[in-house]
Amino acid sequence: MTREAAESASALAAFAAQSDITRMPAHVVRTAKACLLYAVAVGIASRAAPMATMIARALDLEYGEAGGPVTRMLDGRAVATGAGAYANAVLLHGRVQEDAHPAGHVGVVVVPAAIAMAQAQRASGPALLAALVVGYEVALRIGRDHVSDSSARGFRSTPLYGVFGAAAAAGRLAGLDDDRMADAICLAANFAGGLREFVTAGTDEFPLHAGMAARNGIHAVQCALTGVHAARSTIGGDAGFMRAFGEPGKAYSSRLADALGEQYELVRTTYKPYPACQFNRSVIRGMLALRASHAAPLRGITIGLHPFEADFVGMRHTGPFVSFPQTFMSAPFCAALAWVDGAVTYRAMHDFDREPVVRLAARVRVVADASIPRYRPRLTIETEDGRTLEWAEDQGEERYAMTWDAAVDMTRIFCSEAGVVPQDTDALIEATLRLDQNTDCNDFLSALHRAHARACA
């Protein structure tokens, strides 16, 4: 297992170090643009999330008044590379509406790490896009066959796998060769972590997971640049990352390098129409569809989910609700809010004691059903007048595929919510679309920071 693990890690490193967008399929590059645009637009709409301001202050205490090459999106301050990646990752993760994949929400780690390193290195647009592709790909390949077991043990997939993506993306922009890239990726395994207890406890530290992973990925690259070496078997070896965070005896590394550079996990990335857990996207959509055609007082709601989703931490919680993590994870709260309001907004997800929502959430039953595929909930509502109505998701995660058009549509929604004028929104969209044609990232960065400066706090 140790030899196979070392070979897989070396293959991932070579892919990350050598990949160039001129050799990538056009649809993969376009997906990378979509992920980038979507991520920064979520950040613009997340400026009101309190954790971004608190972490900015904490980082100022840690780093002092010294500036740096990276712009902090929240306030435009020039900060050190690691501090910028950390602060911007926390901002992008603040409303949990980031991109999604069965292996986690790695975009909130990879995107801020890549942007920070691109600023520090004064990288070209094509280099930034290449870094994003390899960052997502490395993170998602490490996570795709491992995530179910690590999640069952209480670990968060976003920082657990995102740190590898941050290292790969930052290493690509720093110009690491194959060996130094392998060092950075394997060092990142030592910096991985993040727990799910915040959902049960009702606390709000989850955005820090993305920030720490983004900074730790960059730190892994900086260590590799100075000559620090790491065991090539660190990820999949007998005493390595996958064994430590998973189960003994499982061959998690067997598919790491399969069709590498030919098939891309990146294209499985999806978006979230609502500020909630990805498992609740279609729960909300289904409740809105039922409400539109059968609006009536309800006696109860039954939500059938794949067992992995139904039994996931926080999914069954029916109250009391005291924090955003409890509401965005709770299928009962999301279903009740969708029915009561006919919409699910970031603001409403923070109204924890609204009597109609809380009362209906208490009458929601979540059922684990092995016959239901992942991401395809089945809803049954019972009306006060005795009717029973049903709805089932027939498409799954593919319904929310991260296409360029979807990213543009969501960007317009996010920017409008934040008070960004259409002209500035259009400029950000256009600058992202043109990144592969530019010798620098200046147009993109200028449009991004102008949108932030003009957004409502």
**Taking the alpha carbons of 207, 169, 145, 103 in that order, is the dihedral positive or negative?**
positive
Task: Place 295 in a pLDDT band, splitting at 50, 70 and 90.
Answer: confident
> In angstroms, how far is CA 36 from the centroid of its own chain?
11
Mean pLDDT throughout 356-382? Answer: 98
DSSP state of 383: E
pLDDT score recorded for residue 251: 87
Distance (Å) of CA 234 to CA 7, 95, 239, 242, 329: 11, 33, 8, 9, 32
Choose between 455 and 29: higher pLDDT: 29
Query: Any residues with CB less than 8 A from the CB of 84 and at least 6 apart, and which?
Result: 68, 69, 70, 71, 72, 112, 116, 119
**What Rg value do the Cα atoms of the chain yield, rounded?**
21
Asked whether the bond before 320 is cis by omega within 30 degrees of 0, the reply is yes
Mean pLDDT throughout 381-394? Answer: 94
Distance (Å) of CA 320 to CA 350, 364, 441: 13, 13, 47
Query: Any residues with CB less than 8 A from the CB of 180 and at least 6 apart, and which?
Result: 17, 171, 224, 225
Percent of the chain with pLDDT over 70: 99
Whether residue 457 is predicted with pLDDT greater than 70 in this model: the reply is no
Choose between 380 and 396: higher pLDDT: 380
pLDDT in tens, 95-145: 999 999 999 999 999 999 999 999 999 999 999 999 999 999 999 999 999
pLDDT score recorded for residue 456: 75
Distance (Å) of CA 272 to CA 29, 180, 328, 410: 21, 36, 12, 9
Q: What mean pLDDT value characterizes the chain? A: 96
Task: Place 65 in a pLDDT band, splitting at 50, 70 and 90.
Answer: confident
Distance of alpha carbon 163 from alpha carbon 166, whole angstroms: 5
Query: Any residues with CB less than 8 A from the CB of 189 and at least 6 apart, and which?
Result: 164, 230, 234, 235, 240, 241
275 with 97: CB under 8 angstroms?
yes
Q: Which two tokens stand for residue 387?
A: 């009717």
Distance of alpha carbon 107 from alpha carbon 114, whole angstroms: 10
Task: Place 4 in a pLDDT band, splitting at 50, 70 and 90.
Answer: confident
pLDDT in tens, 297-352: 899 999 999 999 999 999 999 999 999 999 999 999 999 999 999 999 999 999 99
103 with 110: CB under 8 angstroms?
no
Distance of alpha carbon 99 from alpha carbon 165, whole angstroms: 14
Question: Is the backbone of residue 11 left (phi > 0), alpha (psi -120 to 50) or beta?
Answer: alpha
Mean pLDDT throughout 260-276? Answer: 97
3-class state of residue 400 by DSSP: helix
Whether residue 455 is predicted with pLDDT greater than 70 in this model: the reply is yes
Mean pLDDT throughout 253-264? Answer: 94
Q: Which two tokens stand for residue 414?
A: 């996010």
pLDDT score recorded for residue 11: 96
pLDDT in tens, 163-201: 999 999 999 999 999 999 999 999 999 999 999 999 999
In order of their start, the domains of the chain are 2-271+419-454 (1.10.4100.10), 278-396 (3.30.1330.120)
pLDDT in tens, 192-247: 999 999 999 999 999 999 999 999 999 999 999 999 999 999 999 999 999 999 99
Nearest to 108 by CA among 171, 158, 53: 158
For residue 190, count CB atoms less than 10 angstroms from its CB and return exposed for 0-12, middle for 13-18, buried for 19 or more.
middle
Mean pLDDT throughout 440-451? Answer: 97
Whether residue 57 is predicted with pLDDT greater than 90 in this model: the reply is yes
Q: Residue 151, CB half-sphere, CA atoms under 13 Å: how many?
A: 18
Whether residue 293 is predicted with pLDDT greater than 90 in this model: the reply is no
Mean pLDDT throughout 395-419? Answer: 97
Distance of alpha carbon 104 from alpha carbon 86, whole angstroms: 18
103 with 147: CB under 8 angstroms?
yes
Task: Place 66 in a pLDDT band, splitting at 50, 70 and 90.
Answer: confident
Task: Place 296 in a pLDDT band, splitting at 50, 70 and 90.
Answer: confident
213 with 159: CB under 8 angstroms?
yes
pLDDT score recorded for residue 249: 85
> Could you write out the DSSP letters of every residue in 220-272?
HHHHHHTT----TTTTTSTTSHHHHHS-TT--GGGGTTTTBTTB-GGGG-B--
